[in-house]
Amino acid sequence: MRDGEQTPGVALTTEEKLWIARKLDELGVDIIEAGSAITSKGERESIRAISAEGLNAEICSYCRIMKQDVDFALECNVDSIHLVAPVSDLHITARLKKDRETVRQMAVDITEYAKDHGLIVELSGEDASRADLTFLKSLYSDGIDAGADRICYCDTVGMLVPEKTTGIFRELSSALKAPVSVHCHDDFGLAVSNTIAALAAGAVEAHATINGIGERSGNASLEEMVMILEWLYQYDTGIKLEEIYKTSRLVSRLTGIAVAANKSLVGGNAFTHEAGIHVHGLLADTSTYEPIGPEVIGRERKIMLGKHAGKSSVTLALKELGLDVDDSQLDEILDRIKELGDHGKHVTDADLQTIAEAVLDIYRESKVKLEEFTVVSGNKVTPTASIKLNVGGKEVVEAGIGDGPVDAAISAIRKAVAGVGDIRLEEYHVDAITGGTDALVEVLVKLSKDGKIVTARGARTDIIMASVEAVLNGINHLI
Ligand code: MN
């Protein structure tokens, strides 16, 4: 939460930080770095609130190697501190204007101070990947002698590569008498690869952020790291996998940092398939084009349908929605999808559901079928509709006027079916399913006949046709 909140433009309220902390705890993370207590009064309130929440996770504050940072952390009742000492000469001399020995002494003193006050100390080397390894090891050793419980190696600007990481972590984990932790940044897109390499070479703890957020290109992403360990290495992380997607969404919503569509596992497209040969394969066995089932991380598979949609993709998408159709219904659904596709539209699950339900309605033994329909509307024109229906095998032609084209159409229909009963329109409701003037429109109607009431729907890109369809569906139900 500390490095994640250092993402440019992100600042969370106490309430928001609490939501995330609770969710991380539910997810099963071992340690939550809740913030940096020295930052501000508000930050301390947030950390204190998270500490008071009674979570299972160890609650940690970031601290520099300064006594006042530890004092502020203590005020927040945290369990531990992530005590960060700059270790590269670049940071020691250029930034801090100090020397190696001064930094070593500060790290030792503050470690002792924090231990004296009952804190768990994770002593971290900032910019460790650009530090002199001999100096780094001796600083870590002195810190451990001063009481540090764990040490952490930070690749602060993401310059490690996996092979180098392997060598360093083999050396650190065998040379040091404390557990070793890894903190990687994604400047070259290697944060997760380097983290996995470190874990394979002896590190026992890894720092990560949800969705890989953080300064610049961010940190190692928790969801990728966990799923690589669980799925590709068969290692049990203790993380509740089915909570991963929900956690990702929560963090994205609260931070306002969108997840890229093509992001592994949690991106919008990670389990979305578009028509074509892949969908044909998925229909036979979903593992043909999916490494894991979306439900493993609490997601759902999505089938995108457009103008290239084929029978297999529509069948699979309908199966996902739990809808059964016969061949003629499938043809009709496919025609309507292609109609939308030709307008450059993609058919979402909600669209498909609406289309399918409307088509399934139509194919119910229809007594009343639409043959022809015309409507005229505009400025200084009385909206007029003419309609030709097939009512129980007989052709009926009628016309109607109304307040608008939909009203005129419905009036014409009512006249045309007057022979089968007095059908009244009780309610009329229209919804654009996906937005945009060329979007699919759903019309819901409530019709009554002799005290019997039915609801029916129509779904088309044309609002008037959707209305006619809804009313005819309803009439067929009623009679
Ligand atoms: Mn960092």
Model pLDDT, residue 160: 98
Distance 186 CA to ligand 1 centre (A): 10
pLDDT in tens, 62-83: 999 999 999 999 999 999 999 9
> Block means of pLDDT (10 residues each) for the chain, length 479 residues?
90 93 98 97 97 98 98 98 97 94 98 98 98 97 98 98 98 97 98 98 98 97 98 97 96 90 92 75 84 94 77 82 86 86 72 81 73 92 94 90 92 87 86 72 85 81 90 84
Model pLDDT, residue 429: 85
Distance 430 CA to ligand 1 centre (A): 51
Give 3-state DSSP helix, strand, coil % of the chain, rounded to 5.
45, 20, 35
CA–CA distance, 324 with 139 (Å, rounded to integer): 67
Distance 215 CA to ligand 1 centre (A): 7
Distance 221 CA to ligand 1 centre (A): 12
Terminal CA-to-CA distance of the chain, rounded, Å? 62
CA–CA distance, 17 with 48 (Å, rounded to integer): 11
- Domain 368-478: give its CATH architecture: 2-Layer Sandwich (3.30)
Distance 223 CA to ligand 1 centre (A): 17
Distance 78 CA to ligand 1 centre (A): 20
pLDDT in tens, 349-401: 767 877 887 888 665 667 888 999 999 999 889 999 999 998 888 899 999 99
Distance 160 CA to ligand 1 centre (A): 14
Helices (H), 6-93: 14-27, 41-51, 67-75, 89
Distance 117 CA to ligand 1 centre (A): 25
Distance 185 CA to ligand 1 centre (A): 6
Distance 427 CA to ligand 1 centre (A): 58
Model pLDDT, residue 276: 64
Distance 3 CA to ligand 1 centre (A): 5
Model pLDDT, residue 434: 64
User: Residue 24 contacts by C-beta under 8 Å, 6 or more apart in sequence?
Assistant: 1, 32, 57, 210, 247
Distance 211 CA to ligand 1 centre (A): 14
Distance 191 CA to ligand 1 centre (A): 11
Model pLDDT, residue 435: 64
Distance 35 CA to ligand 1 centre (A): 12
Distance 219 CA to ligand 1 centre (A): 7
Distance 82 CA to ligand 1 centre (A): 11
Distance 20 CA to ligand 1 centre (A): 19
Model pLDDT, residue 20: 97
SS3 184: strand
Distance 183 CA to ligand 1 centre (A): 7
Distance 190 CA to ligand 1 centre (A): 14
Query: Which residue ranges does the chain devote to CATH 1.10.238?
Result: 272-359
Distance 30 CA to ligand 1 centre (A): 18
Which residues have C-beta under 5 Å from ligand 1, the single-atom ion? Answer: 3
Distance 360 CA to ligand 1 centre (A): 55
Distance 155 CA to ligand 1 centre (A): 8
User: Residue 253 contacts by C-beta under 8 Å, 6 or more apart in sequence?
Assistant: none
Distance 134 CA to ligand 1 centre (A): 22
Strand partners, 444: 429, 457
Dihedral, 184, 189, 190, 193 alpha carbons, nearest 10: 110
- Look up the CATH superfamily of 2-255: Aldolase class I (3.20.20.70)
Q: Are 126 and 156 within 8 A, CB to CB?
A: yes
Distance 267 CA to ligand 1 centre (A): 23
Model pLDDT, residue 62: 98
Distance 261 CA to ligand 1 centre (A): 24
pLDDT in tens, 404-457: 999 999 999 989 888 878 888 888 888 876 667 777 888 888 888 887 877 778
CA–CA distance, 278 with 286 (Å, rounded to integer): 9
Model pLDDT, residue 364: 61
DSSP 210: G
Burial class (CB in 10 A: 0-12, 13-18, 19+), 438: middle
SS3 241: helix
Kindly provide the b/e burial profile for residues 310-344, where b requires at least 16 CB atoms within 10 angstroms of the residue's own CB. ebbbbbbbbeeeebebeeebbebbbebbbbbbeee
Query: Which residue ranges does the chain devote to CATH 3.30.160.270?
Result: 368-478
Q: Extract the tokens encoding 479.
A: 């009679």
Query: Which residue ranges does the chain devote to CATH 3.20.20.70?
Result: 2-255
Distance 154 CA to ligand 1 centre (A): 7
Distance 184 CA to ligand 1 centre (A): 7
CATH of domain 272-359: 1.10.238
